[in-house]
Amino acid sequence: MKRPITDRIAIERALERSIAAILPSREELIQALSSGKRLRFYIGCDPTGPNLHIGHATNFLLLERLRKLGHEIIVLFGDFTARIGDPTEKESVRKVLTEKEITENIKTWKEQVGRALNLNDPENSVRIELNSKWLSALGFSEIVDLASAFTVQQMLERDMFEKRWKDEKPIYLHEFFYPLMQGYDSVALDVDAEMGGNDQLFNMLTGRILLKKYKNKEKFVITTTLLINPKTGKKLMNKSEGDYVALSAKPSEMFGGVMALPDAAITQLFIDCTEVPLSEIEEFKQKIKNGTNPRDIKARLAKEVVSLFHSKNDAEDAEKEFNQAFRDGKPSEFVAVALEGKTLANTLIEKKIIESKTELRRLIAEGAVTHIASGEKMGEEFLKKQTSGEYRIGKHRFVRIKV
């Protein structure tokens, strides 16, 4: 294994984008990276669904830059913590997943992560871990010892718990276990740094406290920027509502998904989801301010995203297909849907064209489901459709229904 790169310019370039905060400080992390010591970075993801999205990729791209500097990278799939459910930003308790559901969700995660992280570099490969390996082995006395490092007041200070308390909504005891379990991951992996979205700060600081308690070791906490719509303040990638651009998406779907995102988020998407130089991104920002059509800049964004997670050829083909479907009104590809006695909604979910009935109802309410021949917007009756026809669902899905 080669010694890590210690050139300060290279290190600062690796840290120049997508970072919200570094604790205890950015300068201390730069000093550690410059020391020649090989640091161990990790990120954890809970398999609460089958798809990762381009918002997750923000973290993987940053980790790839650190991996290229020569540092050790661990991607942890939280197959145990997913059974508890992270309460972050949740105004109600999460559904408890079964082991079978988690195993099914995690099936293609390694391939999805591999779109942003080089998992198989012989000189510095990436470790994939499951936290059931150590969390399922913890005894009750060990869990009590973990819990003794924190107070109920500390837990209740979390904004989602505070809101639920005021709204007289239930807070379940097992939800307090989540930050303890995530915090213990840092101990079990003996890491030097943890990375996650800035909504994960509380959980990551829990790990910092536990690593100090059990190993007398300090840990860097790196929070990354979340993809937010600047106009609404809401997340652009919302898995619970099925509204996101999946890393598993085909090139045409990924291209169309990016094109459907709000214009106000173009700059942040360039920063967090591409490798386009920041100087060039600033030029795009100025062009939009000066009157350039955002659609043209967004098309470049979509090509960059598809090129990064698929290939340049795929991006070229996806752009041609998108233009043919949306500029010329002639989609080149339909997904054939045979109902076979089932409702259309259930068939679309089974074929993974949509995530849920909730997503389909939202699209119907937005007028985003149309009959292609007539241009008629579909209402709730579309959920139980039993007649043949061609339809557009959202901005980049076309289905040909056969009864």
User: Which residue in the block uniquely carries the two structure tokens 């650190």?
Assistant: 66
Q: Is pLDDT at 295 greater than 60 in this prediction?
A: yes
Backbone dihedral region of 70: left (phi > 0), alpha (psi from -120 to 50 degrees) or beta? left
Parent domain of 16 = 8-224
Confidence of residue 45 (pLDDT cuts 50, 70, 90): very high
Within-domain flag for 230: no
Whether 276 and 209 map to the same domain: the answer is: no
Alpha helix stretches (DSSP H) within 130-231: 132-135, 140-147, 152-156, 159-166, 173-189, 201-215
Whether 57 and 145 map to the same domain: the answer is: yes
Whether 307 and 355 map to the same domain: the answer is: no
Q: Is pLDDT at 240 greater than 70 in this prediction?
A: no
Whether 159 and 286 map to the same domain: the answer is: no
Encode pLDDT of 129-141 as tens digits. Answer: 999 999 999 999 9
Using a pLDDT cut of 90, give the percent of the chain over it: 51
Within-domain flag for 43: yes
Q: φ, ψ for residue 353 (rounded to 5)? A: -75, -35
Pairing assessment for the beta strands 220-224 and 19-23 based on DSSP bridges: antiparallel
Q: What is the CATH number of the domain that holds 141?
A: 3.40.50.620
Number of domains within the chain: 3
Whether 94 and 180 map to the same domain: the answer is: yes
Whether 216 and 271 map to the same domain: the answer is: no
Whether 323 and 339 map to the same domain: the answer is: no
Whether 141 and 78 map to the same domain: the answer is: yes
pLDDT score recorded for residue 386: 65
pTM: 0.79
Full DSSP string of 364-377: HHTT-EEETTT-PB
Within-domain flag for 238: no
Neighbours of 390 (CB within 10 A): 14
Q: Is pLDDT at 221 greater than 90 in this prediction?
A: yes
Find out whether 247 and 53 touch, Cβ atoms under 8 Å.
yes
The 3-state DSSP class for residue 15 equals: coil
pLDDT score recorded for residue 375: 67
Which structure tokens are listed for 137?
Answer: 């082995």
Whether 206 and 136 map to the same domain: the answer is: yes
Q: Which residue has the higher pLDDT, 282 or 158?
A: 282
